[in-house]
Amino acid sequence: MGSGQAGRDGGPARWRAGAVAIAAVVMSLSAAACGSSTSSTPGAGGSATASGSATSGNITWWASPITTSTPDPRAVLISAFEKAYPHIHVTLQSAPTDTDTNRASLITTISGGAASPDVYMGDVIWPAQFGHAGLAVPLSKYLPGSYWSTFAPGLVAGATYSGQVWGAPFFEDQGFLYYRKDLLAKEHMPVPTTWQQLETDAVALKNKGLVKYGYVWQGASYEGLTCNFMEYLGSAGGSVLNSSLTKATIDSPAGTQALTFMRSLITSGASPGAVTTFQEAQAMSAFATGQAAFLRNWNYGWIYSQTASSPSSVVGKVGVAPLPAFAGQPSPGTSNIGGWNLYINPHSKNIAADLTFIKWMTGPAAQTTLATEFAEIPTVQSVRASQTVVAKDPVLAAVPKTRLIPRPAQSPAYAKVSQAIYTNVNSVLSGSASPGAALSSAASQINAAETSTGL
């Protein structure tokens, strides 16, 4: 689940307007670190020799709170790691919970040459920005392809820039379909597996007066809308950038299908016109208070909907499923990736120990602990599919069935790319632009952003 605290990717308040400004700072730090292309087989190297000792030394781990629960998951994991590696001592440095404040602090510290923290927990959309500016170690120079192949498909691609993997997937958030299983049972409706069926069912349930809204999601002009759009675009088989990150591919038949459908959700009455102002909190509230039949939200939505003190009036009435697909396209649809990676400070004095720490934290023991004790989605494929994990809750049971799609964060200009997406998509949702005009505008803005990085 996402904990829901401010700034955590996967929580209702994780997006901040300062992202564009901070990304600009990142890109200005070290243009010389920019690469020109991506590799189709990231992480295939792993032959570089790391400095320091792999079994001894001191590490400072910079990490924001993972949950608000007790005990602290970070402390639990550190204790277990130190039992496995008694000669490596880990000091936890608690990072700000606001993602942009966290990022700004790291930029200042690392760009100033500080060797601490050694390892830091960072957003899944940071790899290109931090790699481009020389603020992270290219982990795939040290860790072989066999290591990267353990992760769920899509996670490593999202952490790749300039042919190298910069972040090790630690735990993730992703989009899910939440539905009122009591209403579907009452109307003898199966859980929709296509977007078209979801729209039809949402309209039917609303028109029968069973709910105020059919389907609610995040349609406001902010980062969350980029995540939603990526899910429709991925389900339609589209992409935002070409493989070399040099040109926008968003203005395509797939882009048109995705955006036309998103607008139709509003015009058909499946979603309210107000969805164009909804972020996570508004969509979650509408669903949890019984006003909506269907909800797209992150994994924390399950816990929230089942907590009467939320307040929630749908306790015991909610089901969870992978997001639908477009009819005729691979099923299920694609779920956008949120969550956190582990990165290494390039000024660290003991990269060998840092790598030992990262490998353990992304290994089966730590990943199982995160899932079973703290309900976080593990990144390792074998753990995601284990019976111990899938039995934990309906979200974790749905995880192995989902398909993941990253945002186009492999570009160091990601903040501008995302802004081009969500502002233009919102203009279509609001009825002020046609899908064709909006996609053309988005493509032009994305191409300008890519050109500005010198790629």
How far, in Å, CA of 346 to CA of 136, rounded? 5
Q: 205-251: per-residue pLDDT in tens?
A: 999 999 999 999 999 999 999 999 999 999 999 999 998 888 999 99
Q: Can you give the pLDDT at residue 31?
A: 27
Q: How much of the chain exceeds pLDDT 90, in percent? A: 86
Full-model pTM: 0.90
What is the secondary structure of 162-180 as a DSSP string?
TTEE--EEEEEEE-EEEEE
Terminal Cα-to-Cα distance of the chain (whole angstroms)? 36
Flag whether pLDDT at 124 surpasses 90.
yes
Average pLDDT over residues 350-375: 98
- What is the average pLDDT value for the chain, to the nearest integer? 90
Flag whether pLDDT at 39 surpasses 70.
no
84 pLDDT band (50/70/90 cuts)?
very high
454 pLDDT band (50/70/90 cuts)?
low
46 pLDDT band (50/70/90 cuts)?
confident
Q: 288-326: per-residue pLDDT in tens?
A: 999 999 999 999 999 999 987 777 899 999 999 999 999
Flag whether pLDDT at 43 surpasses 90.
no
Q: Can you give the pLDDT at residue 69?
A: 82
Q: Can you give the pLDDT at residue 38?
A: 31
Q: ∠ CA(438), CA(241), CA(172), 5° rounding?
A: 100
175 in Cβ contact with 335 (< 8 Å): yes
How far, in Å, CA of 411 to CA of 416, rounded? 10
Strands 377-378 and 168-174: antiparallel
Q: 87-97: per-residue pLDDT in tens?
A: 999 999 999 99
Query: What residues are paired with 172 via a beta bridge?
Result: 339, 377
Higher model confidence: residue 4 or residue 312?
Answer: 312
Flag whether pLDDT at 356 surpasses 70.
yes
Average pLDDT over residues 371-387: 97
374 in Cβ contact with 394 (< 8 Å): no
Which of 4-18, 157-171, 299-313 comes out lowest in average pLDDT?
A: 4-18
Q: Can you give the pLDDT at residue 22?
A: 31
With tokens 């003991």, the residue in question is: 350
Higher model confidence: residue 182 or residue 43?
Answer: 182
Average pLDDT over residues 165-194: 98
Tell me the three state secondary structure of residue 126: coil
Q: Can you give the pLDDT at residue 382?
A: 98
19 pLDDT band (50/70/90 cuts)?
very low
Flag whether pLDDT at 21 surpasses 70.
no
Ordered by where they begin, the domains of the chain are: 19-173+338-405 (3.40.190.10), 176-335+411-452 (3.40.190.10)
Flag whether pLDDT at 203 surpasses 90.
yes
How far, in Å, CA of 219 to CA of 271, rounded? 10
